[in-house]
Chains A and B, each alone.
Chain A
Amino acid sequence: QQPVQSPQAVILREGEDAVINCSSSKALYSVHWYRQKHGEAPVFLMILLKGGEQKGHDKISASFNEKKQQSSLYLTASQLSYSGTYFCGTEVDNNAGNMLTFGGGTRLMVKP
C-alpha cells in the first residue's frame, strides 16, 4: 500500500519554508526521500531508519516519527533549485524488507 503524501502541490517564493509529509498505515522500517526534476530521474536525498531519526544537510532536513509512522521533509529558505517533485518511499518493517513503495509525490514550485 502506497504511503500518503501531503500536500500534493505547493508554490513558494524564494526564501520561504515548506514541509512535506508522508504517512503510512503500516509499521515502517525506513523512509526514503527523493527529488525528481521534470524530465529527469529521481535523485536520492536521505534515508531515515526506525528509531525516530532526524537528518539533514544544507537546508533540507527530515524527521521520522516511528510511533505515528510519519515522516516530514523540511525545506528551509527555499531556493529556485528546490523546485521539483518530492517522493517519499517506505519500507515495511516485516523482516522481508524487499520493497520500496513510493507515495504519489508532492510537486514543489519555487518562484523568484
Chain B
Amino acid sequence: EAQVTQNPRYLITVTGKKLTVTCSQNMNHEYMSWYRQDPGLGLRQIYYSMNVEVTDKGDVPEGYKVSRKEKRNFPLILESPSPNQTSLYFCASSLYGGGTDTEAFFGQGTRLTVV
C-alpha cells in the first residue's frame, strides 16, 4: 500500500530535549516536505527536499533541521524544542516538486507537545 509513515504519532517532551520525528514514503517520490498545523494558521511549510541531499527552507524553518540521506526518508529534527513548537506536524511527499501536476500524499501526523 502506497503511504507516508510518520513516527511517533504522539509525543510529549520537555523543553530542550532533542527529538526526531521520522517520515518514510514507499512511493519512490522525489519531493518531500514538512508542515506544521496550528489553529487558524493552516499548514505552514517548515522544510522541503527536492531529492536526496537537496533540502531548502520553507516559511517557518527556525528551530528545525532536516536531512535527506535516502530517497525514502526525511526526518525532522528539533535540536532544542521549545513550547512554541507545540503543534501538529505533517510530512508529505509527491512524485516531483512544484511546477508539475502531482498531488501530495500526507502522513497521519505527529502531535507534539513541549512542556
Contact = CB atoms under 8 A, between A and B. Distances in A.
B108 A41 contact: yes
A17 B103 CA distance: 26
A105 B37 CA distance: 11
5 A-B pairs with the lowest CB-CB distances in the bound complex, closest first: A97-B99, A97-B98, A41-B106, A44-B103, A102-B43
Contact of A44 (B40, B104, B109): B104
Contact of B98 (A34, A40, A100): A100
A81 interface: no
Categorize the interface residue count of chain A: 20 to 34
A104 B90 contact: no
A87 interface: yes
Given A41-B90, A100-B33, A100-B104, A91 B98 contact: yes
Interface of B: 33, 35, 40-45, 48, 50, 56, 58-59, 90, 97-109
Nearest to B4: A41
A91 B99 contact: yes
Most A Cβ at <10 Å: residue of B48, B99, B108: B99
A2 interface: yes
B108 A40 contact: yes
Interface of A: 2, 5, 29-30, 32, 34, 40-44, 47, 49, 87, 89, 91, 95-105
A102 B106 contact: no
Contact of A98 (B97, B103, B108): B97
B42 A29 contact: no
Nearest to B101: A47
B59 A101 contact: yes
A101 B45 contact: yes
Contacts of A95: 99
B3 to A, nearest CB: 10
A47 B58 contact: no
Contact of A99 (B41, B45, B108): B45
Nearest to B107: A41
B45 A100 contact: yes
B40 A104 contact: yes
